[in-house]
Amino acid sequence: MTDSHSDTPSVIGRAHPVAAGAPVVAAHVLGHTAVFVLGEEALLFVEPKGQARRIVVHDGAILATAADGSRIVSGGDDGKVVATDANGETRIVATDRKHRWIDHVAIAPDGAVAWSAGRSAFVQAQELREFEAPSTVGGLAFLPKGSRLAVAHYNGASLWFPNAPQAAPEKLEWKGSHLSATIGPDGRFLVTTMQEPMLHGWRLADRQHLRMSGYAARVTSLGWTAGGRFLATSGSNQIILWPFQGKDGPMGKQPRLLAPSERRVEVVACHPRHEVVAAGYDDGLVLLVRVEDGAEILAKKPGAAPVAALAWSADGKALAFGTEGGEAGVIDLA
């Protein structure tokens, strides 16, 4: 694949390599500090031009993380939910009473933390609230206002008001196993990834269904472009972008296809300010792609292992990447 990108403009010279020493499963950027989530036990904090600091947060595998710019919330197979701030200070948010795996975590705009263990979804705000889903929770996503939590599960999703325990969750039905959930910045659509290589969506106002299919593989990574006009997704040999700007979202519209490759897109990460998507492929390649014209910039050459993590800083001036093989780095785009 290297050859096919030999003419592509490149920013690989701006990358600061990081020796992760272990497989990287996710990445976040807190301020100017890149944080690499390792498969087991630790977060790796890397400040600009600084040494990597290993912060142990779990006794076992780290199964899920979410970040809100000031802290990282992680869930582990030790049954713990842990919050780690930009200084690397950790705090246990919760310990599952049965020590079940914490499969998913999410952070509300107001700072409330949600997580799930098996069928149980929890939100810790002033009080701890619990919702028992009809099957194992596949994913969690807060609505932009934070008062409602979308819980994806088998045969649909539930919209839960954690602060109104007496109100029955609203059920959104669609057959099949829903494995993760996302809600656009305007809060109009809930989209889930499914066990099948497809997405499903609901327009929340009228529960109109959206079906987004045509993928080669299960979609495991997705994100909203700056402004929320597109939902960028993995699962194919190119970045698939579904248009969400119109009233009907992608209904009856074709997705935009960018950065075609012989290899599969594993991870996408949308630039926070511009309509640019970073895409990581299963051969280790990372490209930055402009949505408007599909222009590509080479960010990382193919390597030994699939890309597993990509994360932009809030100002869009740094991109952290990590691979299943433990290759990692921060690209300085300032």
Site stretch for another protein (CB under 8 A), options 9-17, 46-54, 95-103, 296-304: 95-103
Residue whose CB is less far from another protein, 48 or 325: 325
Cβ neighbours of residue 273 closer than 8 Å, sequence gap 6 or more: 226, 315, 316
Backbone angles phi, psi at 126, to 5 degrees: -65, -40
CB closer to another protein out of 146 and 250: 250
Least distance to another protein from the beta carbon of 44, Å? 15
Among 25, 152, 199, 286, binds another protein (CB under 8 A): 25
The 10 Å CB-count burial string (b at 16+, else e) for 298-310 is bbbebeebbbbbb
Q: Site for another protein (CB under 8 A): how many residues?
A: 28
Stretch that binds another protein, among 6-14, 172-180, 239-247, 272-280 (CB under 8 A): 172-180
Our measurement of the distance from residue 202's CA atom to the centroid of its chain's CA atoms, rounded to an integer in Å, reads 19
Should residue 120 be labelled a site residue for another protein when binding is judged by CB under 8 A?
no
145 belongs to the binding site for another protein (CB under 8 A): no
Which span (122-130, 170-178, 182-190, 201-209) binds another protein, by CB under 8 A? 170-178
Phi, then psi, of 57 in degrees rounded to 5 = -120, -25
Part of the chain binding another protein (CB under 8 A), chosen from 9-17, 28-36, 125-133, 169-177: 169-177
How many beta carbons lie within 10 A of that of residue 94, not counting itself?
18
Residue 332: is it exposed, middle or buried by C-beta count within 10 angstroms (0-12/13-18/19+)? middle
| Residue 147 within binding range of another protein, rule CB under 8 A | no
For residue 176 the two structure tokens come to 């099949």
Residue from 21, 48, 60, 187 touching another protein (CB under 8 A): that is: 60
Write the binding mask 245 to 284 for another protein: x where contact by CB under 8 A, - elsewhere: ----------------------------------------
Using CB under 8 A as the binding rule, whether residue 325 contacts another protein is answered as no
3-class state of residue 6 by DSSP: coil
Q: Which stretch binds another protein (CB under 8 A): 13-21, 81-89, 175-183, 246-254?
A: 175-183
Find the binder of another protein among 5, 39, 191, 261 (CB under 8 A). 39
| DSSP percent split of the chain into helix, strand, coil, nearest 5 | 0, 55, 45
Q: Considering the rule CB under 8 A, would residue 96 count as an interface residue with another protein?
A: no
Binding mask 180-219 for another protein (x = CB under 8 A): --------------xxx-x------------------xx-
Regarding 62 and contact with another protein (CB under 8 A), the answer is yes
Q: Which of 11, 40, 68, 275 binds another protein (CB under 8 A)?
A: 40
d(CA 43, CA 159): 31
Read out DSSP for 275-326? SEEEEEETTS-EEEEETTT--EEEEE---SS-EEEEEE-TTSSEEEEEETTS
Identified binder of another protein from the candidate list 2, 70, 95, 135, rule CB under 8 A: 135
Least separation in angstroms between residue 167's CB and another protein is: 27
Instruction: List, as own/partner pairs, every contact residues 6-9 make where C-beta atoms lie below 8 angstroms and the sequence separation is at least 24, other chains included.
Output: 8/287, 8/296, 8/297, 8/298, 9/296, 9/297, 9/298
Asked if residues 177 and 195 have their Cβ atoms less than 8 Å apart, the reply is yes
- By the criterion CB under 8 A, which residues form the site for another protein? 23, 25, 39-40, 60-63, 77, 100-101, 103, 118-119, 135-136, 154, 175-177, 179, 194-196, 198, 217-218, 220
